[in-house]
Amino acid sequence: LPIGRLVIGHNGLLSTPAVSCIIRKIKAIGGIILTASHNPGGPGGDFGIKFNVANGGPSPDTVLERIAQVTRTLEEFAICPDLRIDLSRLGRQDFDLENKFKPFRVEIVDSVEVYLQLLRNIFDFGAIKSLLTGPDQLKIHIDAMNGVMGPYVRRILCDELGAPANSAVNCVPLEDFGGQPPEPNLTYATALVEAMKGGEFGFGAAFDADGDRYMILGESGLFVHPSDSLAIMAANLSTIPYFKQMGVRGFARSMPTSAAIDRYLLSTTRYKNYVLSEVLSCML
Ligand SMILES: *[C@@H]1O[C@H](CO)[C@@H](O)[C@H](O)[C@H]1NC(C)=O
Ligand SMILES: *[C@@H]1O[C@H](CO)[C@@H](O)[C@H](O)[C@H]1NC(C)=O
């Protein structure tokens, strides 16, 4: 399958969730993510390549195995050392590679815009904005850990939702993440933990390098486990317009996710039968 069109984020930056969103929006066959996420690779073991499929999600093992198989039978490949793509210039750039991929088209897109539109359709921006700017303003502290999330935090939380500019720190993506691992946990996101312990902020969050993991801290540094966030959202779905309108067909969790969601679902009659029937169908 010849690929003749590449869509790349401005300055080469896209969070993993934004890649997923763009793949679905433009109906791409998939997306390649060069990421410092915890897939060991590269000289320092902090570089990896992810491939997401047409539904926006990570490729299933079958696809990865097939890719690995094909790499073993490749007979030739060509490189284009003179191809210069200006990642800082938004818009279309066409290249004539003098082969069957004619023209070879590269589009540099705003890294945040499409993802922001998606979030607007899910969450109640008006309610969040009044929470962050109203008289009883919730003071927040967000640490983007110099990963890819900086532009998203600035544009979405500060520009769109009205959080003061000084609510967000480490928002410039750096190649070395400013020297500290962009690991949003209690070991590495210590600056956030310290800031929250000061008692000034009611909500804190940090993100990993590619924006698909986060840590949430409550007042005085209370650690909210990501598995608990899922259960909290499940318990408060009516406050999220998208789910209020569309309903929910299921909650997914994987091997490392705790059973917090199960405890919530089993405690409400609304979902009880659903959970049980899922358990049964898993057993069958
Ligand atoms: C934080 O992440 C690092 C690297 O993945 C890990 O070694 C460490 O145990 C984690 N700390 C906590 C508290 O989860
Ligand atoms: C969220 O869910 C919890 C647990 O059921 C409940 O105590 C709380 O009132 C809910 N909050 C809102 C805003 O609905």
In-domain check, residue 34:
yes
Which pLDDT score, from 0 to 100, does residue 125 have? 98
* Residue-wise pLDDT tens digits, 14-31: 999 999 999 999 999 999
* 268 CA distance to ligand 2 middle (Å): 13
> Do the domain assignments include residue 70?
yes
pLDDT value, residue 283: 40
Same domain, 73 and 155: no
Residues of the chain with pLDDT under 50: 277, 279-284
In this predicted structure, what is the pLDDT of residue 80? 84
| 88 domain residue, yes or no | yes
Count the domains in the chain: 3
pLDDT at residue 39, rounded to an integer:
64
Assess whether the C-beta atom of 233 lies below 6 angstroms from ligand 2.
Answer: no
Residue of 37, 59, 111, 167 with catalytic role: 37
**Going by CA atoms, what residue is nearest to atom 4 of ligand 1?**
183
Query: Which of 92, 114, 136 represents a domain boundary (last residue)?
Result: 114
Does 71 share its domain with 104?
A: yes
| pLDDT attached to residue 38 | 61
Confirm or reject: Cβ of 267 under 6 Å from ligand 2: no
* 101 lies in the same domain as 10: yes
Question: For ligand 2, is residue 268 a contact (CB within 6 Å)?
Answer: no
Query: Ligand 2 pocket: which of 232, 236, 238, 264 to mutate (most atoms <8 Å of CB)?
Result: 236
Q: Is 187 in the pocket of ligand 1 (CB under 6 A)?
A: yes
What's the pLDDT score for residue 101? 61
Please indicate, yes or no, if residue 119 is contained in any of the structural domains: no
Closest ligand 2 atom, CA of 235?
2
Residue 109 lies in a domain: yes
Per-residue pLDDT at 37: 61
The answer to the question of residue 236 being in a domain is no
> Is the same domain home to 199 and 143?
yes
Query: Domain of 259?
Result: 247-283
Which ligand does the CA of 234 lie closest to? 2
- C-alpha 275 to ligand 1 mean position (Å): 32
Known catalytic residue: 37?
A: yes
Ligand 1 center–CA 190 separation, angstroms: 12
For tokens 């410092």, name the residue: 36
Nearest ligand, measured from the Cα of 260: 2
Do 156 and 78 fall within a single domain? no
In-domain check, residue 240:
no
Please report, for the domain that includes residue 177, its CATH number.
Answer: 3.40.120.10
Residue 282's pLDDT is 42
Q: Which atom of ligand 2 is nearest to the CA of 236?
A: 1
